[in-house]
Chains A and B, each alone.
Chain A
């Protein structure tokens, strides 16, 4: 158990509304990641963080922003949700000394 929680676990929202997903870790790992999982695509990196206030874009960052004001929390925001952002979102952490990432339980987001 890597001590990662995600909230909410499920959310249904309407097109055009803002949505924030939260990832919380209990072990103060430096590296945190947000992915989305879609059929036929595996997991695709949205944004990642390598420290407090240090973030960068992944391969599918359009329409998403992130913030990390504390080591333990990494927030993913959809400023104006679209139906194409319907997906399952996973947060991951990486202990700095190894390359393996450990994933949270996921958030299923539906944009109607």
Chain B
């Protein structure tokens, strides 16, 4: 039973344009959400997070939006750069769960020149 879903396995975007990655969750107990970026043959690296008390969090080119009523979050990358080509995972947790995360299956982003 996958509680975190990334329904788009891949996304292709032109350099300089906006990348929008989507993530849906089913567990209403989740109250903390993160995005990770992963290059081949490396471990995932933390990108940005958001608590359920917020609906938006920005860090440079990366913005995460949370819509609790829809159980949906999205990651916006603007402008997209070639180095953003990677697999992006969203993850969710309940803050009283010892930090046990549920991860989505990932979205492969390819930024083209």
Partner of B43, one of A56, A90, A94, A99: A90
Partner of B106, one of A4, A42, A50, A102: A42
Find chain B residues with CB under 8 A from A56 CB: 98
Interface size class of A (residues with CB under 8 A): 20 to 34
Main secondary structure, interface of A, reads: strand
Quick one: closest A residue to B6, CB to CB?
A: A42
Are the C-beta atoms of B44 and A103 separated by less than 8 Å?
yes
Find chain A residues with CB under 8 A from B98 CB: 31, 48, 50, 56
Main secondary structure, interface of B, reads: loop
Partner of A106, one of B42, B45, B101: B42
Q: Assess A101 versus B105: contact at CB under 8 Å? Given A90-B44, A106-B43.
A: no
Please report B residues at the A interface, Cβ cutoff 8 Å.
4, 6, 32, 34, 36, 41-46, 49, 89, 91, 93, 95, 98-101, 103-106
Other A-B pairs, 11, CB within 8 Å; known A99-B93, A105-B42: A31-B98, A40-B105, A41-B105, A43-B101, A43-B103, A45-B101, A56-B98, A99-B95, A101-B101, A103-B36, A104-B43
